[in-house]
Protein backbone atom coordinates (compact mmCIF):
# COMPACT_ATOMS: atom_id res chain seq x y z
CA UNK A 1 0.00 0.00 0.00
CA UNK A 2 1.35 3.40 -0.98
CA UNK A 3 1.72 5.92 1.84
CA UNK A 4 0.48 9.48 1.64
CA UNK A 5 3.09 12.08 2.58
CA UNK A 6 2.09 14.04 5.68
CA UNK A 7 3.32 17.33 7.11
CA UNK A 8 2.02 20.14 9.30
CA UNK A 9 2.74 23.85 8.78
CA UNK A 10 1.73 26.96 10.68
CA UNK A 11 3.94 29.63 9.10
CA UNK A 12 3.57 31.10 5.64
CA UNK A 13 7.25 30.52 4.92
CA UNK A 14 6.93 26.85 5.82
CA UNK A 15 3.88 26.46 3.63
CA UNK A 16 5.55 28.09 0.62
CA UNK A 17 8.46 25.68 1.01
CA UNK A 18 5.97 22.82 0.49
CA UNK A 19 4.83 24.16 -2.87
CA UNK A 20 6.23 22.36 -5.87
CA UNK A 21 7.38 24.15 -8.98
CA UNK A 22 6.15 23.13 -12.43
CA UNK A 23 8.54 20.44 -13.58
CA UNK A 24 7.43 20.26 -17.21
CA UNK A 25 4.40 20.67 -19.46
CA UNK A 26 3.06 17.32 -18.25
CA UNK A 27 4.10 17.68 -14.61
CA UNK A 28 2.00 20.47 -13.13
CA UNK A 29 1.07 20.13 -9.44
CA UNK A 30 -2.51 20.77 -8.35
CA UNK A 31 -3.85 21.64 -4.91
CA UNK A 32 -7.11 21.45 -3.01
CA UNK A 33 -7.85 23.31 0.22
CA UNK A 34 -10.41 22.03 2.72
CA UNK A 35 -11.27 23.69 6.02
CA UNK A 36 -11.68 20.32 7.78
CA UNK A 37 -8.74 17.90 7.62
CA UNK A 38 -11.08 14.94 8.17
CA UNK A 39 -13.07 15.52 4.98
CA UNK A 40 -12.49 12.87 2.35
CA UNK A 41 -11.36 13.76 -1.17
CA UNK A 42 -14.76 13.13 -2.70
CA UNK A 43 -16.71 15.20 -5.23
CA UNK A 44 -20.01 16.66 -4.09
CA UNK A 45 -22.06 14.11 -6.01
CA UNK A 46 -20.54 11.17 -4.12
CA UNK A 47 -21.22 12.87 -0.78
CA UNK A 48 -24.95 12.67 -1.47
CA UNK A 49 -27.12 10.09 0.27
CA UNK A 50 -28.34 8.14 -2.73
CA UNK A 51 -31.07 6.53 -0.62
CA UNK A 52 -32.70 9.94 -0.22
CA UNK A 53 -33.15 10.29 -3.99
CA UNK A 54 -35.22 8.44 -6.60
CA UNK A 55 -32.08 7.11 -8.26
CA UNK A 56 -30.44 3.74 -7.76
CA UNK A 57 -27.00 4.86 -8.99
CA UNK A 58 -24.89 8.02 -9.10
CA UNK A 59 -24.61 7.99 -12.89
CA UNK A 60 -28.34 8.50 -13.30
CA UNK A 61 -28.42 11.23 -10.68
CA UNK A 62 -25.48 13.01 -12.30
CA UNK A 63 -27.07 12.85 -15.77
CA UNK A 64 -30.39 14.23 -14.52
CA UNK A 65 -28.72 17.13 -12.74
CA UNK A 66 -26.66 18.04 -15.79
CA UNK A 67 -29.72 17.90 -18.05
CA UNK A 68 -31.59 20.31 -15.79
CA UNK A 69 -28.56 22.59 -15.49
CA UNK A 70 -28.34 22.89 -19.26
CA UNK A 71 -32.05 23.64 -19.52
CA UNK A 72 -32.18 26.24 -16.76
CA UNK A 73 -28.85 28.00 -17.22
CA UNK A 74 -29.45 28.89 -20.88
CA UNK A 75 -28.61 32.55 -21.40
CA UNK A 76 -27.21 32.95 -17.87
CA UNK A 77 -23.65 31.78 -18.43
CA UNK A 78 -20.96 34.28 -19.53
CA UNK A 79 -19.92 31.95 -22.36
CA UNK A 80 -21.59 28.94 -23.96
CA UNK A 81 -19.77 25.66 -23.10
CA UNK A 82 -18.46 23.74 -26.11
CA UNK A 83 -18.33 20.23 -24.63
CA UNK A 84 -19.73 18.00 -21.92
CA UNK A 85 -16.60 18.63 -19.86
CA UNK A 86 -17.10 22.40 -20.07
CA UNK A 87 -20.74 22.04 -19.08
CA UNK A 88 -19.78 20.00 -16.02
CA UNK A 89 -16.97 22.43 -15.13
CA UNK A 90 -19.42 25.34 -15.24
CA UNK A 91 -22.02 23.45 -13.21
CA UNK A 92 -19.48 22.48 -10.56
CA UNK A 93 -18.07 26.00 -10.36
CA UNK A 94 -21.59 27.38 -9.87
CA UNK A 95 -22.32 25.01 -6.99
CA UNK A 96 -23.96 21.93 -8.51
CA UNK A 97 -22.87 18.67 -6.87
CA UNK A 98 -21.23 16.70 -9.69
CA UNK A 99 -18.57 14.04 -10.15
CA UNK A 100 -16.01 16.87 -10.35
CA UNK A 101 -14.19 18.32 -7.35
CA UNK A 102 -12.51 21.72 -7.61
CA UNK A 103 -8.72 21.97 -7.46
CA UNK A 104 -6.29 24.74 -8.35
CA UNK A 105 -2.83 25.12 -9.83
CA UNK A 106 -2.06 27.77 -7.17
CA UNK A 107 -1.17 26.51 -3.70
CA UNK A 108 -1.95 29.90 -2.09
CA UNK A 109 -5.51 29.76 -3.43
CA UNK A 110 -5.87 26.31 -1.86
CA UNK A 111 -4.52 27.69 1.42
CA UNK A 112 -7.22 30.39 1.37
CA UNK A 113 -9.93 27.72 1.39
CA UNK A 114 -8.07 25.62 3.96
CA UNK A 115 -7.99 28.54 6.41
CA UNK A 116 -11.76 29.01 6.48
CA UNK A 117 -13.04 28.69 10.03
CA UNK A 118 -15.22 25.80 11.16
CA UNK A 119 -17.66 25.94 14.10
CA UNK A 120 -15.77 23.19 15.95
CA UNK A 121 -12.27 24.65 15.25
CA UNK A 122 -11.05 21.83 13.03
CA UNK A 123 -7.61 21.87 11.43
CA UNK A 124 -7.57 22.61 7.71
CA UNK A 125 -5.70 20.79 4.99
CA UNK A 126 -4.10 21.51 1.64
CA UNK A 127 -3.79 18.47 -0.57
CA UNK A 128 -0.92 18.58 -3.07
CA UNK A 129 -1.02 16.20 -6.01
CA UNK A 130 1.81 15.77 -8.48
CA UNK A 131 0.28 13.76 -11.35
CA UNK A 132 3.74 12.86 -12.62
CA UNK A 133 2.86 12.77 -16.32
CA UNK A 134 -0.02 13.41 -18.71
CA UNK A 135 -1.75 10.08 -18.11
CA UNK A 136 -4.22 11.70 -15.66
CA UNK A 137 -5.09 14.68 -17.89
CA UNK A 138 -8.37 14.70 -19.80
CA UNK A 139 -8.33 16.10 -23.32
CA UNK A 140 -10.68 19.00 -24.05
CA UNK A 141 -12.88 16.84 -26.29
CA UNK A 142 -13.15 13.81 -23.97
CA UNK A 143 -16.68 12.46 -23.65
CA UNK A 144 -18.21 10.23 -21.00
CA UNK A 145 -16.94 8.91 -17.67
CA UNK A 146 -13.15 8.38 -17.91
CA UNK A 147 -13.44 5.38 -15.60
CA UNK A 148 -10.49 6.47 -13.42
CA UNK A 149 -9.43 9.57 -11.47
CA UNK A 150 -8.51 12.27 -13.97
CA UNK A 151 -7.60 15.96 -14.05
CA UNK A 152 -9.45 18.38 -16.32
CA UNK A 153 -7.94 21.80 -16.98
CA UNK A 154 -10.77 23.87 -18.50
CA UNK A 155 -10.87 26.98 -20.59
CA UNK A 156 -11.40 29.92 -18.24
CA UNK A 157 -14.88 31.10 -19.19
CA UNK A 158 -15.11 33.81 -16.53
CA UNK A 159 -12.87 35.85 -14.22
CA UNK A 160 -13.49 33.77 -11.10
CA UNK A 161 -12.30 30.60 -12.81
CA UNK A 162 -9.23 32.42 -14.09
CA UNK A 163 -8.43 34.07 -10.76
CA UNK A 164 -8.74 30.77 -8.94
CA UNK A 165 -6.52 29.01 -11.50
CA UNK A 166 -9.16 26.33 -11.31
CA UNK A 167 -9.00 22.76 -12.50
CA UNK A 168 -11.13 19.74 -11.69
CA UNK A 169 -10.65 16.16 -10.60
CA UNK A 170 -13.08 13.60 -11.96
CA UNK A 171 -13.74 10.45 -9.96
CA UNK A 172 -15.53 7.46 -11.53
CA UNK A 173 -18.99 6.63 -10.25
CA UNK A 174 -19.11 3.48 -8.10
CA UNK A 175 -20.36 0.37 -9.84
CA UNK A 176 -23.19 -1.79 -8.59
CA UNK A 177 -23.92 -1.44 -4.90
CA UNK A 178 -20.39 -0.45 -3.89
CA UNK A 179 -19.85 2.75 -1.99
CA UNK A 180 -17.82 5.72 -3.22
CA UNK A 181 -14.03 5.53 -3.03
CA UNK A 182 -12.23 8.71 -1.97
CA UNK A 183 -9.23 9.73 -4.04
CA UNK A 184 -6.77 9.22 -1.18
CA UNK A 185 -7.95 5.60 -0.91
CA UNK A 186 -7.56 5.14 -4.64
CA UNK A 187 -4.08 6.62 -4.42
CA UNK A 188 -3.03 4.30 -1.60
CA UNK A 189 -3.96 1.26 -3.71
CA UNK A 190 -2.88 2.61 -7.10
CA UNK A 191 -0.12 1.07 -9.18
CA UNK A 192 0.59 4.38 -10.92
CA UNK A 193 4.14 5.06 -9.77
CA UNK A 194 4.56 8.55 -11.25
CA UNK A 195 2.15 10.21 -8.88
CA UNK A 196 2.65 11.83 -5.48
CA UNK A 197 0.03 12.93 -2.94
CA UNK A 198 0.78 15.04 0.13
CA UNK A 199 -1.54 16.08 2.99
CA UNK A 200 -0.45 19.45 4.44
CA UNK A 201 -2.21 20.02 7.76
CA UNK A 202 -3.03 23.61 8.78
CA UNK A 203 -3.53 23.96 12.58
CA UNK A 204 -6.81 25.69 13.41
CA UNK A 205 -5.10 28.18 15.70
CA UNK A 206 -2.93 29.41 12.80
CA UNK A 207 -5.78 30.01 10.37
CA UNK A 208 -6.36 33.69 11.23
CA UNK A 209 -2.71 34.66 10.94
CA UNK A 210 -2.29 32.81 7.66
CA UNK A 211 -5.41 34.55 6.30
CA UNK A 212 -3.91 37.94 7.13
CA UNK A 213 -0.68 37.07 5.35
CA UNK A 214 -2.60 35.81 2.33
CA UNK A 215 -4.41 39.16 2.17
CA UNK A 216 -1.04 40.93 2.06
CA UNK A 217 -0.27 38.79 -1.00
CA UNK A 218 -3.60 39.81 -2.61
CA UNK A 219 -5.10 36.36 -2.07
CA UNK A 220 -8.45 37.33 -0.58
CA UNK A 221 -12.17 37.19 -1.25
CA UNK A 222 -12.06 40.13 -3.64
CA UNK A 223 -9.54 38.29 -5.83
CA UNK A 224 -11.08 34.85 -5.61
CA UNK A 225 -14.67 36.03 -6.11
CA UNK A 226 -14.56 38.97 -8.55
CA UNK A 227 -17.58 41.23 -8.33
CA UNK A 228 -19.81 42.38 -5.49
CA UNK A 229 -19.75 39.04 -3.63
CA UNK A 230 -15.98 39.30 -3.27
CA UNK A 231 -16.13 42.96 -2.27
CA UNK A 232 -18.66 42.22 0.48
CA UNK A 233 -16.79 39.13 1.71
CA UNK A 234 -13.55 41.11 1.85
CA UNK A 235 -15.16 43.92 3.88
CA UNK A 236 -16.61 41.38 6.30
CA UNK A 237 -13.20 39.74 6.75
CA UNK A 238 -11.45 43.08 7.29
CA UNK A 239 -13.68 43.83 10.27
CA UNK A 240 -11.98 40.97 12.12
CA UNK A 241 -8.47 41.58 10.79
CA UNK A 242 -7.42 44.51 12.95
CA UNK A 243 -4.07 44.41 14.74
CA UNK A 244 -2.00 46.62 17.02
CA UNK A 245 1.28 44.93 16.11
CA UNK A 246 2.37 47.97 14.05
CA UNK A 247 1.87 50.60 16.77
CA UNK A 248 5.63 50.89 17.15
CA UNK A 249 5.76 52.63 13.76
CA UNK A 250 3.63 55.51 15.02
CA UNK A 251 5.22 55.62 18.48
CA UNK A 252 8.63 56.18 16.88
CA UNK A 253 7.43 59.02 14.65
Cβ-based neighbour number of residue 137 at 10 Å? 16
pLDDT > 90 fraction of the chain, expressed in percent and rounded: 48
* Res 147: pLDDT: 74
The reported pLDDT for the residue numbered 251 is: 61
C-alpha distances in Å from residue 38, one per residue of 10, 45, 102, 131, 138? 18, 18, 17, 23, 28
pLDDT at 126: 98
pLDDT tens digits for 107-147? 999 999 999 999 999 999 999 999 876 778 887 766 666 77
Pairing type for strands 5-8 and 100-104 reads unpaired
The pTM for the full model equals: 0.87
Collapsing DSSP to helix, strand or coil, 79 comes out as: coil
Model confidence at 33, pLDDT cuts 50, 70, 90, reads very high
Rounded CA separation 54/182 (Å): 23
Look up residue 57 and give its DSSP letter: S
CA 189 to CA 201: how far, in whole Å?
22
Q: Is 3:188 a contact under the CB 8 Å cutoff? A: yes
3-state helix vs strand vs coil in the chain, percent to 5: 35, 15, 45
Could you give the 3-state DSSP secondary structure of residue 5? strand
Amino acid sequence: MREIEDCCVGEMESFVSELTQIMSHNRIPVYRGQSDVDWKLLPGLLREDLMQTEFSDWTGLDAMQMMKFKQRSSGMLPCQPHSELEWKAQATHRGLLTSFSSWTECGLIALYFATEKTPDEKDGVVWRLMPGDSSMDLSQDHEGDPGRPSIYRPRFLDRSMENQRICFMSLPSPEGGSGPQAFEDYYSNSTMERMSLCRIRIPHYEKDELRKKLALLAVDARTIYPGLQGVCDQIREEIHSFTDSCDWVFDAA
